Amino acid sequence: MRKWGLFALGLALILVGGFLAHTIQTAGGARIEDVRFAGDKGIVQSGLLYVPPSATAQHPAPAVLLSHGYINTREMQSPFAVELARRGFVVLAMDMAGHGYSGGAVLNPRDMGGPAALRYLQSLPYVDKANIGLEGHSMGGIPISAAAAAQPDGYRAIVFEGSTPAFLGAAAPPSFRNMQIVFGQFDEFAPLMWGVPKGSLVAGAPKMAKAFGVAGPVVVGQTYGSLADGSAKRLLNPPVTHPWEHFSSAGVGGAVDWFQTTLPGAAAPKPAGDQIWLWKEVGTLLGFIGLIVLLMGTFEVLLTLPAFAGLNHPMEPVAERRGPKWWLAFALTAAVPALTYFPFMKWGQVFFPMQLFPQYIQNQLLVWALLNGLITLVLSFVLRGGKPAFTNRWGASALIAAATIAVGYLSLVLVDAIWKVDYRFWVLGLKPLDAHHALVAIPYFGLWAAFFLIAIRALSANLAVKGDGFLFQHGAWKLAMSLGFIVLLAWEYGTLFQTGLLATPSEPLNTIVAIQFVPLLAVVGALAAFTYRRTNSYVPGALICAALLAWYVTAGTATHWYPGFKLPKPPPAAARSR
């Protein structure tokens, strides 16, 4: 039964993690529903609805509409949802248009689905329509601004979390009712959001003074105006970064405190610091780790079946020991992807969204990946040593990769169906694909496969050493894949925490996106080493990693293309010269 060990361990981690996450997000007896509702322009929108047991048609409860930011999904708002629901608030965590399971595309409709989500929340019989709050993180400020503009009297309080009113020209009322702004001292988007170089300076920003209706700097923590007439305003400026604002006790607690203050009638008020949401994240992290272990265990079990028995082959590394060439290969594997990340992502902007490849961020990532694949091919001639002898069986490799991913995917579908949780932690998140996104993932898989076939072949040819033990090889390959981004992020955020500015202040979005590369590339290294050791082939690992990345990115990022989409026009020469 030893062959079932990893499979059983992965399954156990998934079950324990899923149960823990479910227990936390249903604390106090709240129930969670996956809902769909009509949006504008004929789209269907998605949300997670949290309903506490105290909310009934006879005793309607206050409610809050939550919106995530750009290239995120509704699950990213779960810390707020968990804490508000256990206090007696009905909560709707929406998927913005073009994100998650909502139709449409980024800025199509322009309001990102906010007004429709507010109308849906108001339609629920157990919601107190006179006590509705709005909260949005980052780009999530667009749908809540638009909802407030569509119904100036349809809400009672609003929280901009790492965001700004009327972001990117979004529709907004002349003034917001009972507005709180939570903006981190180390928020990477301070110049874009508030026109100041550092998040620690937002209190003195002219835009902030205008939003508060004062002549000078805003006093952090002071409540301006009156809660009774809806003119109250407050600024919080905790020492956190942009992605940390919705994943910290300060960010979550600030929003919870404001809504408990402005929306009366919650059945179970608690101190703002009384928070349990992190345990839900621990549970879903266990699920993510369990998935990777389950993939390895599934692969190992499948190799015992007659259909795949021919794939069994011990690895045949070329290198006898770790010499200078091995260390050079290790250094290049770690360094080149990180060094090329920012320029290649910029070049990737020319891979515009189209019907077959509708996700702009994934298009950019693939330009980075494929150009790194070309570099790897060139370097393979420089690093050429003995010729590796791979045992590639392409047909069987494709089938075992498909079966392995299918088992992992089925585990997530079941966890989602039973407990309404997925596999995630902070910015890392893996969720099931709906039918639309499953079709979108297919062409993307082809491009990811091209990259991983090159990358994992290079790993297997250059970093495998005869006699290496399981743990050492796994550790070395995981580190080779992720070390460059560990160093890059340490440089970026070390500089940010010292100076208030990123080392590359013009790259806030790509810096935040890069945080996911550390765990994802480590997973690639682990899967590559595991499959190579058992088959002496780079093909199964490459196809498994390609399917995993196509699934991960397609489900978690945003759709930009839509019928009628037009390529952005370059600015006029006069504007470019400014």
pLDDT tens track for 454-501 = 999 999 999 999 988 889 999 999 999 999 999 999 999 999 999 999
Mark whether 328 and 257 lie in a shared domain.
Answer: no
Mark whether 246 and 383 lie in a shared domain.
Answer: no
| Cα 161 versus chain centre, distance | 17
Q: Which of 142, 468, 466, 159 minimizes the C-alpha distance to 320? A: 466
**Is residue 492 one of the residues assigned to a domain?**
yes
**Is residue 31 one of the residues assigned to a domain?**
no
- Which percentage of the chain shows pLDDT scores above 70? 97
Position 578 scores a pLDDT of: 31
Q: How far apart are the first and last CA of the chain?
A: 70
* CA–CA separation, 19 and 142 (whole Å): 34
Q: Which of 297, 272, 451, 483 minimizes the C-alpha distance to 375? A: 451
For the purposes of burial, counting CB atoms within 10 Å of the CB of 398, is it exposed (0-12), middle (13-18) or buried (19 or more)? middle
Mark whether 456 and 438 lie in a shared domain.
Answer: yes
Q: Which of 205, 253, 261 minimizes the C-alpha distance to 233? A: 261
Give the number of domains in the chain: 2
Mark whether 288 and 145 lie in a shared domain.
Answer: no
93-148 per-position pLDDT tens digit: 999 999 999 999 999 999 999 999 999 999 999 999 999 999 999 999 999 999 99
**Is residue 503 one of the residues assigned to a domain?**
yes
Helix/strand/coil for 267: coil
* CA–CA separation, 12 and 571 (whole Å): 55
Q: What CATH number is associated with residue 135?
A: 3.40.50.1820
**Is residue 19 one of the residues assigned to a domain?**
no
**Is residue 390 one of the residues assigned to a domain?**
yes
Q: Which of 245, 271, 297 is the last residue of a domain?
A: 271
**Is residue 561 one of the residues assigned to a domain?**
no
Supply the range of the domain harboring residue 507. Answer: 280-556
Mark whether 366 and 430 lie in a shared domain.
Answer: yes
Mark whether 181 and 288 lie in a shared domain.
Answer: no
**Radius of gyration of the chain from its Cα atoms, rounded to whole angstroms:** 25
Could you give the count of Cα atoms lying within 13 Å of 298 in the half-sphere of its Cβ? 25
Q: Which residues of the chain have pLDDT under 70?
A: 1, 385-386, 568-578
Position 571 scores a pLDDT of: 45
Mark whether 159 and 219 lie in a shared domain.
Answer: yes
Position 572 scores a pLDDT of: 46
Position 166 scores a pLDDT of: 85
Q: Which of 534, 104, 524, 50 minimizes the C-alpha distance to 334? A: 524
H or E segment and range at residue 10: helix 5-25
Mark whether 220 and 295 lie in a shared domain.
Answer: no
Mark whether 161 and 292 lie in a shared domain.
Answer: no
Q: How many CB atoms are closer than 10 A to CB 224?
A: 15
- Looking at the DSSP bridge assignments, the partners of residue 34 are 48
Mark whether 240 and 354 lie in a shared domain.
Answer: no
Mark whether 338 and 468 lie in a shared domain.
Answer: yes
Mark whether 388 and 315 lie in a shared domain.
Answer: yes
pTM: 0.95
**Is residue 408 one of the residues assigned to a domain?**
yes
Length of the chain as a residue count: 578
**Is residue 259 one of the residues assigned to a domain?**
yes
242-252 per-position pLDDT tens digit: 999 999 999 99
* CA–CA separation, 130 and 109 (whole Å): 27
Buried b / exposed e along 204-217 (16+ C-beta atoms within 10 A): ebeebeebbeeeeb
